Amino acid sequence: MESSVSQIWPIGGGKGGTGKSFITGSLGFMLAKQGYKTLLIDVDLGAANLHTIAGVPNPSKCISDFINKEVATLGETVVPTPVPNLFLISGAMNNLDIANLAHEQKMKVLRGVAKLSYDYILLDLGAGTSFNTIDFFMISDEGIFVTTPEPTSIENIYRLIRSVYFRKVRQVLKTYAFKALADEAERRNPRATVSNPALLLQIVGELDPEKSVLLRQVLESFRFKLVLNQFRKQDNYNIGTLICKIIEKHLALRIRHIGNISFDDRVHNAVCKKRPFLELYPYTQTALDLMECCRMLLPGKEACPSFQKVVE
Ligand SMILES: Nc1ncnc2c1ncn2[C@@H]1O[C@H](COP(=O)(O)OP(=O)(O)OP(=O)(O)O)[C@@H](O)[C@H]1O
Ligand SMILES: [Mg+2]
């Protein structure tokens, strides 16, 4: 039986051009091929281009129709793609800039997304750590972070992951269950704040061991994943694992490296042809990497090696 609760995967990157849209489109393609009803949403409103990757060059509707109240529900802006089971809410043709989206408009989109019913909803986010981008990570415990192996991109992804994580921790600490305890921890040691989660957890553990276990559980419920894209032969294969270890050490956050996606010039060909890379070039290393990445994201990954729908 299918669950009516959509799995929502926000997909972001610290830097432009790392491959967020390519990965969003490719994951959507694979999920749809496995029979999952999948929706791609382009939230990169300033520079929307997911419609091209999804093979819908001229979408008839887009997300700003909902924001501008031309339609009553977000569901009315969904358009089909050439791939069965794969749908799109385009960010094209809008004159909105996500960075300047008013709080109420953003909340409206977030509420609209929460009301949609798909097996998977993939959000292609704008690059960087702007307040608005981070807000879209708050909609779900999941988060997929895309970087290339270049140091500049890694620096930026670290910053993005830290910002998203701190925002989530801050939200948890504001709740009734933890507010007084977090205040007390900060009184005891002014450095025990959201910016220093390891120390905060340590002090909270001294103050209230039971609640500290609960807090740890809540923080561990965030399922952050790291993807390295545009991976070349000369790159260090273990760099993803190293980044995850550094994040765990500095932020007390467990993040899972779910794969290296090989660089392939034919990605460019697929984008130019406005066709899914996986359809045009299924027998390439990059396609295999994408499939492995998708497998790592699905529940019961060990038992799901092929394009079979697992939730039936
Ligand atoms: N694995 C890959 N191999 C080769 N080229 C790739 C790969 N992934 C992405 N590209 C290329 O990199 C460029 C950027 O990809 P994409 O548009 O998906 O990135 P993005 O992170 O969404 O960018 P933006 O921040 O501008 O939205 C495109 O030209 C795409 O063809
Ligand atoms: Mg993009």
DSSP state of 190: T
DSSP state of 99: G
Q: Contact at 8 Å (CB) between 129 and 160? A: yes
Distance from residue 171's CA to the centre of ligand 1 (Å): 32
Sheet holding 120-124, edge to edge: 79-80, 86-89, 38-42, 120-124, 7-12, 142-147, 223-231, 255-262
CB contact set of 305 (below 8 Å; sequence gap of 6+): 295
CATH of 7-150+222-298, one of 3.40.50.2020, 2.40.30.10, 3.40.640.10, 3.40.50.300: 3.40.50.300
Beta strands in 169-310 (DSSP E): 223-231, 255-262
State residue 310's pLDDT score: 30
Of 22, 26, 45, best ligand 1 pocket probe by most atoms within 8 Å of the beta carbon? 22
Unique residue bearing structure tokens 């609640």: 211
H/E stretch holding 89 reads strand 86-89
Query: Position 45: which residue type?
Result: L
Q: Residues with beta carbon inside 6 Å of ligand 1? A: 13, 16-22, 44, 47, 127, 229-230, 261, 263-264, 267-268, 271, 286
State residue 98's pLDDT score: 55
Distance from residue 125's CA to the centre of ligand 2 (Å): 7
State residue 95's pLDDT score: 62
* Closest residue by CA, ligand 1 atom 9: 19
Determine the Cα–Cα distance for residues 271 and 258; give it in Å rounded to an integer: 24
H/E stretch holding 79 reads strand 79-80
Structure tokens at 124: 């292609």
> Domain residues of the chain, as ranges?
7-150+222-298
State residue 301's pLDDT score: 54
Closest ligand 1 atom to Cα of 271: 31
- Ligand minimally distant from the alpha carbon of residue 263: 1
Of 267, 278, 290, best ligand 1 pocket probe by most atoms within 8 Å of the beta carbon? 267
State residue 308's pLDDT score: 35
Beta strands in 118-159 (DSSP E): 120-124, 142-147
Q: Contact at 8 Å (CB) between 34 and 182? A: no
* Closest residue by CA, ligand 1 atom 10: 19
Q: Contact at 8 Å (CB) between 147 and 18? A: yes
Distance from residue 270's CA to the centre of ligand 2 (Å): 15
Closest CA to 9 of 25, 21, 24, 22: 24
- Ligand minimally distant from the alpha carbon of residue 25: 1
Unique residue bearing structure tokens 């990445």: 293
Unique residue bearing structure tokens 């051009």: 17
Distance from residue 263's CA to the centre of ligand 1 (Å): 10
Q: Which 3 state secondary structure label does DSSP give 7?
A: strand
Closest ligand 1 atom to Cα of 266: 4
State residue 197's pLDDT score: 87
Closest ligand 1 atom to Cα of 23: 18
- Ligand minimally distant from the alpha carbon of residue 22: 1
State residue 4's pLDDT score: 63
State residue 97's pLDDT score: 58
Closest CA to 14 of 250, 229, 263: 229
* DSSP secondary structure of 197-228: HHHHHHHHHHH-HHHHHHHHHHHHT-EEEEEE
Q: Contact at 8 Å (CB) between 228 and 236? A: no
Distance from residue 251's CA to the centre of ligand 2 (Å): 27
Q: pLDDT tens string for the chain (312 positions)?
A: 344 688 999 999 988 899 999 999 999 999 999 999 999 999 887 778 899 999 998 999 999 899 888 999 999 999 999 999 999 999 876 565 555 678 888 889 999 999 999 999 999 998 876 767 888 999 999 999 999 999 999 999 999 999 999 999 999 988 988 999 999 999 999 999 988 888 999 999 999 999 999 988 888 888 999 999 999 999 998 999 999 999 998 888 999 999 999 999 999 999 999 999 999 999 999 999 999 999 999 987 533 333 333 322
